[in-house]
């Protein structure tokens, strides 16, 4: 009897241990609930660049509202926790820790800025939490490949190559660079220098501005000395507007061209249509005002339903596409999604998001190389 009792106790304890181990191994990753999937985002919603983050968030929320209204993903609704970092690196890092450790998000998306994302990468990569969609084309975020970071947009090298090739093709070879003194701006500068080198050219002048600053006087003086035919600007809309104003006051009338982070609508709002007329802008997203592309048509419908008006912008459609890409990837994971499944699924998939195609592999996390060159018209509209 004693032996039978001991055997019974061992079997009971053993079964309990197996259930405990099995329960732990089968437990869902953080952010996966019975009826929800929680995602995290860090971007500027305040400060000089707050408009960028607001437009991205609006686009993402419009997509998720549409998705949730249709039942979500296998019955789970998407919840997006979006934290303001003011485009400050320290806040982005703190937000990343909060999203992972306190908000318990499943994955991250739509991070903004080269330098902030570079530092945040140390946090989310160590925690093995994927980030899908970086609002940055910086080479430092792309090489070497980080297993837990996937890019939606083309790189700054792709953008600057397109701009330089276009200018040189027009017979313009005296080209200067105005850049923001951080990861974004330096990546843009490197891209211009590399693209010019392919044509056996060098910048005739280089000037910079600090992040979140409008002190462009030194850059204007330096670049004006070079008397350039064109200036490629790797800066955001406020310092760009101030730089162009001061260059013109100094009697300099080069062709001004910018990279995609500028935000065309924001630059026009800052300068006015008349002053912004003629500025060239590289774009890495589909033209958001023409609904002949399926995803743009979908974007228009979702934004109108979400905001009750048509707030169309490049940042808005980038947020929308980022959310759609995340949803399409999550759908492939089935009823038991895990972070590692998300990574391996992305690395083995191609996505057609409605005329905008994205694809990844284990050795390449750059989703797209799409670049479109545009110019601001007399009425402030973006022309292709």
CB-CB contact of 110 with 39 (8 Å): no
> Does residue 11 carry a pLDDT above 50?
no
Q: Give me the sign of the Cα torsion angle 311, 313, 315, 317.
A: positive
Query: Could you report the per-residue pLDDT of 291-308, keeping only the tens digit for each?
Result: 889 999 999 999 999 999
% pLDDT > 70, the chain: 93
Helix/strand/coil (H/E/C) assignment for every residue in the chain: CHHHHHHHHHHHHHHHHHHHHHHHHCCCCCCECCCEEEEEEEECCCCCCHHHHHHHHHHHHHHHHHHHHCCCECCEEEEEEEEECCCCHHHHHHHHHHHHHCCCCCEEEEEECHHHHHHHHHHHHHCCCCEEEEECCCHHHCCCCCCCEEECCCCHHHHHHHHHHHHHHCCCCCEEEEEECCHHHHHHHHHHHHHHHHCCCCCCCEEEECCCCCCCHHHHHHHHHCCCCEEEEECCHHHHHHHHHHHHHCCCCCEEEECHHHCHHHHHHHHCHHHHCCCEEEECCCCCCCCCCHHHHHHHHHHHHHHCCCCCCHHHHHHHHHHHHHHHHHHCCCCCCCHHHHHHHHHCCEEECCCCEEECECCECECCCCCEEEEECCCCCEEC
> Does residue 23 carry a pLDDT above 60?
no
Q: pLDDT category, 310, cuts 50, 70, 90? A: confident
Query: Could you report the per-residue pLDDT of 195-239, keeping only the tens digit for each?
Result: 999 999 999 999 999 988 999 999 999 999 999 999 999 999 999
Pairing state of beta strands 131-135 and 107-112? parallel
Q: pLDDT category, 2, cuts 50, 70, 90? A: very low
> Does residue 26 carry a pLDDT above 80?
no
Tell me which of 1 and 46 has the higher pLDDT: 46
Per-residue pLDDT, 209: 97
Q: Give me the sign of the Cα torsion angle 310, 235, 51, 108.
A: positive
CB-CB contact of 74 with 334 (8 Å): yes
Per-residue pLDDT, 27: 66
Per-residue pLDDT, 311: 85
**How confident is the prediction for the chain on average, in pLDDT?**
92
Query: Could you report the per-residue pLDDT of 97-137, keeping only the tens digit for each?
Result: 999 999 999 999 999 999 999 999 999 999 999 999 999 99
Q: pLDDT category, 28, cuts 50, 70, 90? A: confident
Per-residue pLDDT, 384: 87
Per-residue pLDDT, 22: 36
Per-residue pLDDT, 48: 87
Q: What is the rounded radius of gyration, in angstroms, for the C-alpha atoms of the chain?
A: 24
Query: Could you report the per-residue pLDDT of 239-253, keeping only the tens digit for each?
Result: 999 999 999 999 999
Distance CA 312, CA 277 (A): 20
Residue 88 has φ and ψ, to the nearest 5°, of -115, 130
CA 209 to mean position of chain CA atoms: 22
Q: pLDDT category, 257, cuts 50, 70, 90? A: very high
> Does residue 14 carry a pLDDT above 60?
no
CB-CB contact of 339 with 106 (8 Å): yes
Q: What angle do CA 257, 237, 259 make, to 5 degrees?
A: 35
> Does residue 373 carry a pLDDT above 70?
yes
Distance CA 380, CA 241 (A): 14
CB-CB contact of 344 with 329 (8 Å): no
pTM of the entire structure?
Answer: 0.88
- In what order do the strands lie in the sheet containing 372-376? 206-209, 175-180, 230-234, 255-258, 280-283, 372-376, 382-383
Q: How many CA atoms lie within 13 A of 267 on its CB side?
A: 38
For the chain, domains (ranges, CATH) are 36-154+290-359 (3.40.50.2300), 156-283 (3.40.50.2300)
Query: Could you report the per-residue pLDDT of 70-91, keeping only the tens digit for each?
Result: 999 999 999 999 999 999 999 9
Query: Could you report the per-residue pLDDT of 321-353, keeping only the tens digit for each?
Result: 999 999 999 999 999 999 999 999 999 999 999
């Amino acid at each position: 009897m004693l032996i039978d009792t001991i055997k019974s106790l061992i079997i009971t304890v053993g079964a309990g241990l197996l259930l405990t181990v099995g329960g732990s191994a089968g437990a869902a990753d953080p952010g996966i609930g019975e009826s929800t999937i929680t995602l995290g985002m860090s971007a500027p919603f305040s400060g000089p660049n707050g408009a960028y983050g607001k437009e991205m968030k609006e686009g993402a929320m419009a997509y998720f509202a549409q998705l949730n209204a249709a039942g979500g993903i296998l019955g789970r609704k998407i919840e997006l926790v979006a934290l303001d970092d003011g485009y400050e690196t320290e806040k982005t890092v703190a937000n990343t820790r909060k999203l992972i450790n306190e908000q318990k998000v499943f994955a991250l998306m739509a991070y903004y800025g080269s330098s902030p994302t570079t530092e945040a990468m140390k946090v989310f990569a160590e925690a093995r939490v994927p980030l899908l969609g970086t609002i940055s084309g910086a080479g430092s975020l792309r090489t070497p490949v980080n297993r837990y970071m996937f890019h939606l947009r083309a790189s700054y090298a792709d953008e600057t190559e397109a701009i330089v090739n276009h200018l040189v093709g027009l017979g313009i070879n005296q080209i200067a660079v105005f850049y923001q003194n951080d990861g974004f701006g330096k990546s843009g500068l490197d891209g211009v220098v590399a693209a010019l080198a392919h044509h056996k050219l060098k910048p005739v002048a280089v000037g910079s501005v600090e992040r979140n600053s409008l002190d462009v006087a030194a850059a204007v003086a330096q670049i004006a000395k070079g008397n350039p035919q064109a200036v490629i600007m790797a800066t955001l809309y406020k310092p760009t507007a101030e730089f162009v104003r001061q260059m013109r006051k100094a009697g300099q009338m080069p062709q001004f061209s910018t990279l995609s982070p500028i935000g065309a609508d924001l630059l026009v709002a800052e300068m006015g249509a008349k002053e912004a007329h003629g500025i060239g802008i590289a774009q890495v997203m589909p033209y958001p005002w023409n609904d002949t592309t399926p995803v743009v048509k979908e974007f228009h419908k979702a934004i109108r339903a979400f905001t009750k008006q048509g707030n169309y912008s490049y940042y808005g459609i980038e947020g929308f596409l980022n959310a759609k890409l995340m949803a399409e990837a999550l759908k492939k994971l089935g009823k038991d999604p895990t972070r590692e499944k998300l990574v391996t699924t992305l690395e083995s998939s191609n996505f057609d998001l409605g005329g905008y195609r994205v694809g990844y592999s284990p050795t390449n996390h750059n989703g797209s190389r799409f670049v479109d060159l545009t110019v601001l018209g007399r009425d402030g509209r973006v022309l292709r």
